[in-house]
Structure 1
Amino acid sequence: MNNEGIILVDADDESITITWPPIGKVSASNPAKYSLQFRPSTSASDNGIDSGASLMYTSLTTDSTSTTARKKNLTGAGHGFWFRVSAATKSKTRVDKSSMDYVGHACRRPFTVLTMMEQSRRMRPPSCKVDGATASPTPNSYVVHVSWKPYDAEGGEDGGVVVLGYKLQMRENDGKSSWATVAPLLTGTEVKKKNLTSKMGYMFRVRPVLRGESGGGEANLETSVSEGGNIVPFSCASDIVGAKKASAPPPVGGPTNGVGDELLKIFKKLPKDELLAKGGMGKVSLSSAFDGVDLVMLYASAHWCPPCRKYTPELVQFYKDARRVYRNDPKRATSIEIVFVSADHDVNGFRNYYSSMPWLAVPYDAETRERLLSWMKVTSVPRLMVLDGKTGKILESNSVGRTLDLARFSKMVGGMKMN
């Protein structure tokens, strides 16, 4: 759906990202510049109309050349925020135009930020890349591969809930297209979107569909990233994918770090490039599993080993605590992922042992498992090797016997990201 006016691209608990279509006559020799202002909504009945120029707007910029902007440091959900934009005047300091000179919200309603609780429930943005190996049915079109990590519903607000699948949305990066639903319920964690033609590129976002959802509707997405009720808000927007010239800005929640080639090489020859998840009940692609992860820990262990059976519950608690810290403050906390590399003697032992673990695992019958045990130089178990999530560099060859302290691990990747 195309709109004439400002539309909401993204929001978190302290910022709002907006976009708008080009205003006025724009060309290579006459690039557009914009004057952008905002104000808090004064009440539930505030409709954004300021015919008497009595409401005070704050100037954000008077010479922006972009049709997208992010306003940070917005506190309190309140009644939301209003934005307005116009073609900039020759004077960089003049912001006293008539309200009629400005373009307002396409939806005629204020945009809202999330609460801290809503923000803590969000998934990470999906990873997106153009799939040149897959043919698109439409001439001059392309295919985008979209993947995401399974929703972590353990603990917190969503502890014990059942994830039925995922809802995926996309929007064209043209300044006037709203978010549109690609699929209301996907059971997997990746999809290929075909027949894409925009030279401006696309953005994607995802949310879990939980059993017992109620009280929300897509109409609320004009002003928020949440459909309302008890529904989990959509993730931050992905990086722009498919753009021919423009570089992709980082998503609102922070840059998507991607997965380094060196880390992927460690899992060479992994069948279908997939790890096991949820105690063996699910699977996740390597690119999705490690996207944006700061630390990857390889856990060599076995059910027949008494020290392993003692250490594993401690590691489970550490893992859940670290995930909770990251979920509550993803901008500052260190993200981790653990991969079980079994040293069990048979597949039944592996299955029974892994069913009690909340992290990922290399399939027991994969050649990769034996190769990893050799690469880790495993002569005894348990063994916990810590890798840099971006480069695959070994940061600690064996953490067993040392305190499972997130602060200590965080320092290994360039210093503490949290207090």
Structure 2
Amino acid sequence: MKRLLILLVLSLLLATGCTTVAVQTNQTPFEVLTSSTVNREGVSVPIHADYILLYYAADWCPYCIEYADQLKQTYTQLKRLYGSSMELVFVGHVNDQSNDDLLSFLDQGSYPFAYLPYEKRAQSGVMELLGEHRFYIPGFLLLDGQGNILASSNGETKDDYVRDRPIYHLQSLLIQDCASCQK
């Protein structure tokens, strides 16, 4: 009887010790964005920058393909000048259906920057940030380190579209930041 009781208690302890506890994360959409980015190989690349450029584009867009070399050069120059103060993250297009669509674009241009995987887009809210019925690509949104939108490639109308407006805005902010630095 004593043995049976011990076996019962041990069985109960083993059974309860092996239960899986679901860990619930209460990340904000911006935290999902900054913690979920990866490189083309799928290696995590967390973002800890003062400014983030979100890049919207697609592999079927001729203007996006045409812009590839200029974008890579611009990104390289920005990183050289401002280092970890800024980061560019590719987020794709609203018509993307899978991660393969994003990787196809990145592979086509051999881009050096990270991207937000398709399965994280809904949680991060990157497509909702556009806030406009039609967002022209290639296009950018500039976010500050808290996720606030500082600049957009789009305007009120198609005629207000300026692809590099967020890049110009970023450069002016970073120049001001550098000018106010104590040396």
Which interval holds the TM-score relative to the shorter structure? 0.5 to 0.7
Correspondence 1:275 to 2:29: no
> In structure 2, the residue corresponding to 1:340 is in which secondary structure?
strand
> In structure 2, the residue corresponding to 1:318 is in which secondary structure?
helix
Correspondence 1:375 to 2:112: no
Counterpart position of 1:319: 75
Counterpart position of 1:412: 173
Superposition deviation, residue 268 in structure 1? 5.5
Counterpart position of 1:297: 53
Conserved 8 A contact 1:301-1:381 = yes
From the superposition, tell whether residues 412 and 266 of structure 1 become closer, same or farther in structure 2 (CA, over 3 Å).
farther
Counterpart-to-counterpart distance in 1, 2:123 and 2:115: 9
When the two structures are aligned, how many residues end up with a matched partner?
140
Counterpart position of 1:231: none
Counterpart-to-counterpart distance in 1, 2:31 and 2:167: 30
Counterpart-to-counterpart distance in 1, 2:143 and 2:82: 18
> In structure 1, the residue corresponding to 2:28 is in which secondary structure?
helix
Counterpart position of 2:103: 351
Superposition deviation, residue 361 in structure 1? 1.0
Superposition deviation, residue 273 in structure 1? 3.7
Counterpart-to-counterpart distance in 1, 2:149 and 2:59: 25
1:113-132 alignment to 2 at 5 Å?
Answer: none
Query: By percentage of residues, which structure has more helix?
Result: 2
Superposition deviation, residue 398 in structure 1? 1.8
Superposition deviation, residue 323 in structure 1? 1.1
Counterpart-to-counterpart distance in 2, 1:297 and 1:402: 11
> In structure 2, the residue corresponding to 1:280 is in which secondary structure?
coil
Superposition deviation, residue 405 in structure 1? 5.9
Superposition deviation, residue 373 in structure 1? 1.0
From the superposition, tell whether residues 394 and 269 of structure 1 become closer, same or farther in structure 2 (CA, over 3 Å).
closer
- Which structure has the greater CA radius of gyration? 1
Q: Which runs of 5+ in 1 are unaligned?
A: 1-263, 328-333
Letter matched to residue 310 of structure 1: E
Relative to the length of structure 1, the TM-score reads: 0.29
Conserved 8 A contact 1:267-1:368 = no
Q: Deviations over 1:193-217 (max 9, x none)?
A: xxxxxxxxxxxxxxxxxxxxxxxxx
Match of 1:394 among 146, 149, 152: 149
Conserved 8 A contact 1:362-1:369 = no
Letter matched to residue 103 of structure 2: R
> In structure 2, the residue corresponding to 1:368 is in which secondary structure?
helix
Counterpart position of 2:45: 284
Higher relative contact order (CA 8 A, sep 6+): 2
Task: Give the root-mean-square deviation of aligned CA atoms.
Answer: 3.1
Correspondence 1:265 to 2:19: no
Q: Deviations over 1:343-395 (max 9, x none)?
A: 13443332121232211211122243783112223623222001112x32211
Conserved 8 A contact 1:303-1:309 = yes
Q: Which runs of 5+ in 2 are unaligned?
A: 1-26, 155-161
Counterpart-to-counterpart distance in 1, 2:31 and 2:50: 20
Counterpart-to-counterpart distance in 1, 2:97 and 2:173: 33
Conserved 8 A contact 2:32-2:123 = no
Q: Deviations over 1:107-140 (max 9, x none)?
A: xxxxxxxxxxxxxxxxxxxxxxxxxxxxxxxxxx
Superposition deviation, residue 342 in structure 1? 1.3
Conserved 8 A contact 1:322-1:335 = no
Superposition deviation, residue 413 in structure 1? 5.7
Counterpart position of 1:215: none
From the superposition, tell whether residues 382 and 345 of structure 1 become closer, same or farther in structure 2 (CA, over 3 Å).
farther
Superposition deviation, residue 416 in structure 1? 4.8
Counterpart-to-counterpart distance in 1, 2:41 and 2:178: 32
Letter matched to residue 81 of structure 2: V
Q: Deviations over 1:278-318 (max 9, x none)?
A: x2341123xxx21xx22111111111111111223322211
> In structure 1, the residue corresponding to 2:119 is in which secondary structure?
coil
Match of 2:116 among 362, 384, 388: 362
Relative to the length of structure 2, the TM-score reads: 0.61
From the superposition, tell whether residues 402 and 349 of structure 1 become closer, same or farther in structure 2 (CA, over 3 Å).
closer
